[in-house]
Structure formats: C-alpha cells, structure tokens
Amino acid sequence: MKKLFLLTFAMFFAVLVQAQNVKEVVFTTEPEIECNNCVNKIKNNLRFEKGVKAINPDLKTKLVTIQYDSEKTDVDNLIKAFAKIKYKATVVEPKKEVEKEEKTKKE
C-alpha cells in the first residue's frame, strides 16, 4: 500500500513539474489561414518541432494557438518553424496578459 502511495505521489509530482514548463502562445499568420489545407499544413509540419505539445489553428479567428515545452523550444523557434512552411507568424498578446497590464497601470 505504501509503494502504491509513493508511486502515485511521484507520478503526480512529475505531471505537476512538467505542466510548469508548458506555455501557450497565439500567432496570426501571413498569409492568413483560410481553409482546411492551411490548417493541415500547419499542424502536420509544426508538430515535428521539438517541444511542441499542441497546435490549434482556428479558421474562424485566423489564429494559431500553440502549447510548447519552454525548456525545449521558444517563441523564436516557433516563428522559424512557420517560416520553413512559408508563413510569417506574429505573436498576439493573450487577452489575460493585456488585462493584467491594464490593472497594473490603473494602480
């Protein structure tokens, strides 16, 4: 029973530590994503970049959200990965970050 508890605790701790390294960034692209072929091109090529955890292109908003391991890659490497497939990617500030900055300015 004690071994099971320790194993469960160790797995929980490993997941917790790993989750701290995962970051999310939102990009606009040029050209904009307009169809399922664009979505597939982005997903199929960027998934091979080291550290990429999830890629979520949204046709409606024309945005690409990427979750990545910050110990294995960074935003600059993701932008270079877009360039390899002929897209210019620009970071969009997440709404939450903008709201935090506005609150700080008001204080």
Give dist(CA 24, CA 71) in Å, integer.
13
Place of tokens 């890629």: 55
CATH number of the structural domain 21-106: 3.30.70.100
Type and span of the H or E element at 41: helix 36-46
Decide: helix, strand or coil at residue 55: strand
Q: Does the predicted TM-score (pTM) go above 0.85?
A: no
Q: 45-102, pLDDT tens digit by residue?
A: 999 999 999 999 999 999 999 999 999 999 999 999 999 999 999 999 765 444 444 4
For the chain, domain boundaries: 21-106
**What is the separation, in whole angstroms, between the first and last Cα of the chain?**
52
Q: Predicted confidence band at 8 (pLDDT cuts at 50, 70, 90)?
A: low
Q: What are phi and psi of 65, to 5 degrees?
A: -105, 130
